[in-house]
Amino acid sequence: MLEALSHKATLARGFALIRDGHGQLIRSRLGLEAGQEVRLTLHDGEAQARIEGAQETPSKAKPAAAAKRLPTKTQGDLF
């Protein structure tokens, strides 16, 4: 039961933890800078990496215009 709640189960599904040079978790791209050294924790071990750049988050898409409703036809009398 405890294994299902462990972060290791999440890592085994393909996720990774990213830590900065001080060992602090990086939770957002805003915590990253080009050239920064980071430590990746994967399900089978750790690796060191360098950030080459961070992509900006795409702006939120404007909500689609409400679909125009066509007038509904009423069902005729069956009898």
pLDDT tens for 24-45 read 999 998 889 999 999 999 999 9
pTM: 0.60
Inside any domain, residue 68: no
pLDDT of the residue at 8: 85
Please report which confidence band the pLDDT of residue 3 belongs to, taking 50, 70 and 90 as the band edges. Answer: low
| CA distance to 15, 32, 46, 49, per residue, from 3 (Å) | 16, 30, 20, 28
Inside any domain, residue 24: yes
Quick one: CA dihedral 39, 41, 45, 47, positive or negative?
A: negative
Inside any domain, residue 35: yes
Domain around 46: 2-50
| CA distance to 45, 49, 67, 71, per residue, from 12 (Å) | 11, 20, 43, 52
Inside any domain, residue 27: yes
pLDDT of the residue at 7: 81
Q: Confirm if 37 and 18 have CB atoms less than 8 A apart.
A: no
Please report which confidence band the pLDDT of residue 75 belongs to, taking 50, 70 and 90 as the band edges. Answer: low
Number of domains in the chain: 1
Distance CA(75)–CA(73), nearest Å, equals 6
How large is the average pLDDT for residues 47-75?
A: 68
